[in-house]
Amino acid sequence: MTAHSRNTPQFYLTAPSPCPYLKGQFERKVFTHLVGDDAAQLNDLLTHGGFRRSQTIAYRPACETCRACVSVRVRVDAFEWTKAFRRNRALNADLVGLDRDATPNSEQYSLFRAYLDSRHSDGGMADMTVLDYATMVEDSHVRTRLVEYRRRGPDTAVNGRGAGPLYAVALVDHLSDGLSLVYSFYEPEHRDRGLGTHVILDHVQRARALGLPYLYLGYWVEGSAKMDYKRRFRPQEHLGPAGWELKDG
């Protein structure tokens, strides 16, 4: 029997299941566990290779007949601030994001629940309980943070904290060369604010302030309307057979 080190990743392949993005397709994923002392370093390496993290699992598509899922990262130093993006920033200038430990609470879950019920009631996360949410947030062996967005308050200039109810939340991994948006959700009643876009734009600025060159957005899926928004954030690189390549359009 061959002995494997606890720090040597072992990779596994899931069985085929219906694709959540493209009708009529079936997805398979290759995955490994992110545990132990080398979890953060492994997460960095795998993210550069097109993997995404979910709790203590790193995964990437390994579909037999489809290659539509493409890993996307944004170059923050040359980010293109379009008129639409500048309007979004102005519209949400009354919000402030507080960076904090990845600790779940009931207020976050209430917002998470409202977001799922409004935007993804038929998705794979629709039945997540408060315990499932807590696990999603805190079950991590890598450097993970939460950013909570609230309205600016009278003491914001002093303590950096907002006031009032939550407007949005982002779960973010800190990598050696960038930030990786693991998951974000927001108040569905404020559709006019474009809060999903605001969270991404805010993290473009956060990555740049930290001296990090990239913001990782996960997968863009050609042919999937729900993933098409990622194309708007430019310049961006796509991971292909030859590595990360700058895309013009």
Write down the pTM of the prediction. Answer: 0.92
Q: Domain ends where: 69, 92, 115?
A: 69
Residue 17, domain member (yes or no): yes
Least confident of 16-25, 49-58, 104-113, 230-239: 16-25
Residue 35 has pLDDT above 80, yes or no: yes
What pLDDT sits at residue 60? 96
pLDDT tens digits, one per residue of 188-202: 999 899 999 999 999
What is the pLDDT confidence band of residue 3, given thresholds at 50, 70 and 90? very low
Residue 213, domain member (yes or no): no
Residue 218, domain member (yes or no): no
Sheet holding 57-61, edge to edge: 12-13, 29-33, 57-61, 52-54
How many domains does the structure of the chain reveal?
A: 2
Residue 2, domain member (yes or no): no
Q: What CATH code is carried by the domain that includes residue 124?
A: 3.40.630.30
What pLDDT sits at residue 120? 72
Whether residues 47 and 97 share a domain: the answer is: no
Whether residues 195 and 93 share a domain: the answer is: yes
Residue 28 has pLDDT above 50, yes or no: yes
Task: For strands 214-221 and 236-240, give the pairing.
Answer: unpaired
pLDDT tens digits, one per residue of 94-121: 999 999 999 999 999 999 999 999 877 6
| Residue reference for tokens 């990598």 | 175
Rounded mean pLDDT, 221-242: 92
Domain, as residue range, for 195 = 83-206
What pLDDT sits at residue 249? 58
Residue 235, domain member (yes or no): no
Whether residues 54 and 154 share a domain: the answer is: no
Cβ neighbours for 129, distance < 8 A, ≥ 6 positions apart:
none
Does residue 137 sit in helix, strand or coil?
helix
Integer Cα distance of 243 and 179 in angstroms: 19
Q: Domain ends where: 69, 99, 118?
A: 69
Residue 1 has pLDDT above 90, yes or no: no
Integer Cα distance of 60 and 13 in angstroms: 10
Residue 38 has pLDDT above 80, yes or no: yes
Contact 179, 215 (CB under 8 A): yes
What pLDDT sits at residue 72? 97
Whether residues 97 and 199 share a domain: the answer is: yes
Q: Looking at per-residue confidence, does 65 or 249 come out higher?
A: 65
Alpha helices in the chain (DSSP H): 39-48, 83-91, 106-119, 130-138, 156-159, 195-209
Whether residues 146 and 104 share a domain: the answer is: yes
What pLDDT sits at residue 4? 46
- Phi, psi at 203, each rounded to 5°: -80, -25
Residue 223, domain member (yes or no): no
Whether residues 172 and 87 share a domain: the answer is: yes
Where does residue 211 fall: left (phi above 0), alpha (psi -120 to 50 degrees), or beta otherwise? Answer: left
Residue 74, domain member (yes or no): no
What pLDDT sits at residue 119? 78
Whether residues 62 and 90 share a domain: the answer is: no
Residue 157 has pLDDT above 90, yes or no: no
What is the pLDDT confidence band of residue 20, given thresholds at 50, 70 and 90? confident
Q: Looking at per-residue confidence, does 211 or 120 come out higher?
A: 211
Residue 224, domain member (yes or no): no
Whether residues 30 and 55 share a domain: the answer is: yes
Q: Domain ends where: 187, 206, 225?
A: 206
Residue 223 has pLDDT above 80, yes or no: yes
The tokens of 51 are what? 């993997």
What pLDDT sits at residue 90? 98
